[in-house]
Amino acid sequence: MQQSLVLVCCILCQPSLPTPVEVRFVQFDPEIQEVIVQAGDREVSYKLADPLKVVLVIEPEGTIREATPAVAIKIFSSEQFKGKQMQIIVDQNTITEVKLRVKRVK
């Protein structure tokens, strides 16, 4: 009984873990490294974190690859990516991780 109580207290006292949020990409400003996304019915702007983690999901097979922040910036700068869905993890108005769905380039 005491072990269960201690376990519950430990779980409740832990800081909340960041959860991924599904958003729609709107715009990217390369000068200030700021991404504008649409979350629900409102647009929100976020800065890119310095140690940005980038995960690519390559369609159609669904292969998962890690990439550099430079790849994410190149994708964000592309006109073809506007309006596409992506997952982000945010910490204090800064994107720390981004998960992008991309098509295989031949």
Residue ranges covered by each domain of the chain: 18-103
Interval 53-72 mean pLDDT: 89
d(CA 91, CA 103): 28
d(CA 16, CA 103): 33
Task: Return the pLDDT at 102.
Answer: 87
Task: Return the pLDDT at 84.
Answer: 92
> 18-103 belongs to which CATH class?
mainly beta
Residue pLDDT, tens place only, 1-33: 666 666 565 565 555 667 788 999 999 998 999
Q: Given the structure tokens 């159609």, which residue do they identify?
A: 60
d(CA 39, CA 47): 15
Residue 87 has pLDDT above 90, yes or no: yes
Residue 89 has pLDDT above 70, yes or no: yes
What is this structure's pTM? 0.75
